[in-house]
Amino acid sequence: MSVSQNPSSGFEVIFSTLQNAEDAESTLNVLNILDELLSAGTDHRIHYMISKGGSEALLSALMKNGSRSSPDYTILLPILYLVAKVGQKDCHIGKKAEEAGAVLLTLNLLKNNIQHAGRAEAYLNVIQVFAGSAASRYALATSPCYSASSRQPQFPHQNILDQTKGWMSSTTLSLAIPSRIGKQLKDNICTAVTKGYVSGLLLLYDDWHSKDTNHSATDILQALLHCFCKIACSALGRDNLVSHGGIRLLYHTTQTYLLNKCQESLIESSVQLMRSCLPKTRLPLTSDQSAYLFPLPGRQHDDLDMVATSDESNGDDDDDDDDKVEDDYQEAQSKDYDNDLETDLNTLCLRPATDRPKELLLQYSRLCPELSHDFLEDLDLNSQESSSSSSSDDETGPEKKTPEFLSQTEKGTSDQTKSAPCPLKVKDFYSHTGINTRSGGTKTGETREEANSSLTDDEQKNKNEGNGKCYNSPMTDLIDIHNHDIPYHEPSMYRAAAMKTKSVPGFSTLAFPDFWGQVPPPGNEPMAPRKPNIQRQKVLEDIQRFLNTDIINQVVFDLEDECLQFPPAEPDSLRFFSSFECGNLRKAIRVRRYEYDLILNADANCSQHTQWFYFEVSNMVPDVPYRFNIINCEKSNSQFNYGMQPVLYSVRDALNGKPQWCRSGTEICYFRNHFCPVRGRLRTTFYTLTFTITFKYSEDVCYLAYHYPYTYSALRAHLRLLNRSVDPSKVFFREQVLCPTLAGNACPFVTITACPPSKSYTDIHQLRNRPCIVLSSRVHPGESNASWVMKGTLEFLCSHDPIAQALRETFVFKIIPMLNPDGVINGMNRCDLNRDDLNRQWCKPDPVLCPTIYHTKGFLSYLSSIRRTPLVFCDYHGHSRKKNVFLYGCSVKETLWQSGSTFDTAALKENPGYRTIAKALDRIAPAFSFNSCNYLVEKSRSATARIVVWKELGVLRSYTMESTFNGFDQGIYKGLQTRTRELEEMGMKFCHSLLSLTVDTRALYGRSLINHMNPGHNVLDHKSHNCFEDDEPPCVEEIEYSMFPGLKGKDLNWT
């Protein structure tokens, strides 16, 4: 007789025997059988057992044996072991245990056996498994037995240390309970807080720390820190930790951990926990809104206030709102970049209709003077004076503008901004007479009375024409004494340009570096090495500030308080100033003797975009390290974490013959802080840039900036000097006005090409048919590096270099060197006075609120309408997150490939010429990184210049060229920070790359020209293909405090 045996019947018999066995021997035998069955094979056997009721049978045995007045632990311990083992694979074990009553029973047994390490460990293993269910977690949290399990075992500490290994494991598992509670149920954290568990855990942590003399309880302390981290996920939990002295306790314990390298994990975890628990502190400002308000045309002043606060609400209305910031940050970090790529082929390929009728485009014919200029007359006269006169006439002033060009912007802004008080003065630097030891004690600047002898417009014109000096002043004498000789810079011409510059506050002072000029430092400037754990050191100093009451907390500069812009000099306090063109510093607070918190001014008319800074500092003590903390930065990471330094300009060095912006600063790091907006939501995140400066001189005035400043007035003066430097018989150089800005400043527009060599029809015809190259820059005011690249481009195109001559003879260059003059002038970082990012307005720019973009796009549309679509369009930018220089372009195929589109791109024809310039730059420009380039069309950037000019105007080679603020990680410049020399060189090399677009490339790349392309080093062999790095690696220290190193589950032996 052969009866088929059901495989499940064996388990059913075992489970039935286990539940019904009355004697210990039978029960032990059954448990041993189950242990052997589950020890062999894979997890599949455990899951099969669970499906046949194994969990219920074990819980029943636990209830039966554990409910006895005197449990037999020879039976109960094996049951607990099996329950823990099976429960780890049973996702419903918590619910089953709650229904069976096993949760509270286990807690009660733990309470009665807390002094027995082996039993307690077994119970804690089971409790950890039960904690996987919400229902059982609630039962655990609300049970009166739970508090007992959270207390330290009360028996001699030496005995605990003798059983360190077992107790580390058991205590870790015990403390996993509150951490799991805090992970999903804030109500349970509230219960834990109200029942006093936080104070108990802090006492427990303090006791373990004080008695752990041989560092054998690290895992226990780590587990306690993990509990605190989970409690800190709630605002209530953080407040409770702070109110019970948690930060103070962690700070003092961390100081002892710093003395022992083996406690590194505890240090990092403690620091991160303290950072997360520091109470949110509102910025010490009267308002989040910028100190600069500009009435926009057609809008009332009250409307600005409403817009500035429309996204703000009282943070007290939602106590848990700031708890979401961690989740939001993680979600933002994990967002798939490919989701932003455009996948609609029609959107990529179809050319939208023009945004204005052709009749309105005729006004831009004036911006093509090379098409209408009478070169025959110039050639006959062969006179520089005639050409100069033509150049002057072509500079479109208000009296020259055509009726349609006089927009509402120009008509409505005459009384909304302030021109510089006439005359402008150079700051006297608070009478630091010791600065000018070589000038006989003459003050550096001029007083208002002395400045009354400043040049008039006619006198300036005469000086520009070479008629000599027209006035004398201390500053003039100083210039003569120091033999001022900086290429393409004249202080008197700079001041003349600055006098016509209109700013929102009405600047009356020139910053000395801009007036005096600068030359690049002669030597290389390597990236600053990062001191190990420097961020930790700075964070601990900040926590010490929170704990101590001896903070000075003295406001020493306030842009909104005239009394604090020139406060009485104090012997040991720095003095600050930023009320000059491009300057940005809103407030300075002295927090310690040699430490200052600095707050940047938001972009005008809004409450955001703080990154750019440029300010003056004086009254310093030499050879003393001063710590500066810029506390309201907004970006989540910065090149300051990767070797970048701020730039510093010393007036004393300049007067001694070294007018240089130099990289300066030590102990630099960038990390998230605990500050929040004045009126905004608490969840808004700010970051601190901290750096230390040691000044060399006592009687000095220094300037600190995010990057090498380049002002609007410097551009205007530079263009005048370039116009004066070219040979008008060979170089056609015209500076015109594209349009007035919102503030009434002229937006310069430059045309550069070669004059025809003869009067022949062929030469004139060739000139009229040269393809156009359109270049623009500085749409984002804080990206001053873009202006230095543009400076290199302009100077090269006006030079006598044979390549420059070849390019002028081949192309007509149309250049808008500063698309956002108002933003640059007023020290803004991202926006224009209309509070918008101008590089997101290209689809439908407003002619009143975005005049420079509106007219630039109109000019490009005009070129397209007369069949002179630019061969190249490139917008120069700066990049704050990456190194090197690189291009962003547009490609349909590459976008579809990257996005994973199912469209068959093999049948799609696309001109590969969009890569030509990048390939050329990779050969000739040592600062350029080919592998950092991409040609993807993103939805979020659909309104940028690069994409709109490519898609709407059909310019194949439409680029954004990004230049690093930091330096280079490849080629001959590897490991070096960029100077203005490298930036200007990049502008020159971009021009070199345009040779690759010429018809007769081989002729232009002849050996004679190649020799001119690399005079200092052999860069033709430069390649960046083997230097690929995808953005920056993670910072060596946690910028955020949403993650807690050393507290991961695997480190705590969790499953």
Active site residues: 962
> Rounded to a whole number, what is the largest CA-CA distance in the chain?
128
Tokens 């290389």 belong to residue: 524
Cis peptide before 529 (omega within 30 of 0): no
Sign of dihedral through CA atoms 435, 437, 443, 445? negative
Q: Please choose, from the candidates 123, 30, 139, the residue with its C-alpha nearest in 3D space to the C-alpha of residue 84.
A: 123
**Which residues does residue 873 pair with via DSSP β-bridges, in sequence order?**
774, 958
Q: How far apart are CA 760 and CA 944, in angstroms?
A: 42
| Vertex 838: Cα angle to 837 and 840 (nearest 5) | 75
Spatial CA neighbour of 697 closest among 646, 645, 624, 626:
624
Q: Strand, helix or coil at 524?
A: coil
State residue 617 phi and psi, 5-degree precision.
-140, 140
Strands 595-599 and 885-888: unpaired
Distance between start and end Cα atoms, the chain: 48
CB-based contact 222:178 (threshold 8 Å): no
| Cβ atoms 680, 602 nearer than 8 A | no
Rounded CA Rg of the chain: 36
Residue type, 873: F
Closest CA to 964 of 636, 706, 619, 772: 706
- Locate the DSSP E strands across 524-665: 554-558, 575-577, 587-592, 595-599, 614-618, 625-633, 647-650, 661-663
CA angle, 796 then 801 then 806, to 5°: 95
Using CB atoms within 10 Å of the CB of residue 537, give its burial: 0 to 12 exposed, 13 to 18 middle, 19+ buried.
middle
SS (H, E, C) 309-348: HCCCCCHHHCCCHHHHHHHHHHHHHHCCHHHHECCCHHHH
SS3 874: strand
Q: What does the DSSP 8-state code read for residue 628? A: E
Q: In whole angstroms, what separates CA 301 from the centre of its chain?
A: 31
Structure-token pair, residue 1015: 């005079």
Give SS3 for 846.
coil
Per-residue exposure over 147-161, b if at least 16 CB sit within 10 Å of its own CB, e if not: eebbebbeeebeebe
Query: How many other CB atoms are found less than 10 A from the CB of residue 759?
Result: 13
Please give the structure tokens belonging to residue 315. Answer: 């943070």
Dig out the tokens for 468 from the structure: 């000599």
Cβ atoms of residues 620 and 626 within 8 Å: yes
Q: What is the DSSP string of 237-303?
A: HHHHHHHTTHHHHHHHHHHHHTT-GGGHHHHHHHHHHHHHHSPPEE-SSS-SS-S---PPTT--HHH
C-beta neighbour count of 932 within 10 angstroms: 25
For residue 117, the number of C-alpha atoms closer than 13 Å in the C-beta half-sphere is 15
Identity of the amino acid at 589: I
> How far is it, in rounded angstroms, from Cα 962 to Cα 965?
10
* Residues 478 and 512: beta-carbon distance below 8 Å: no
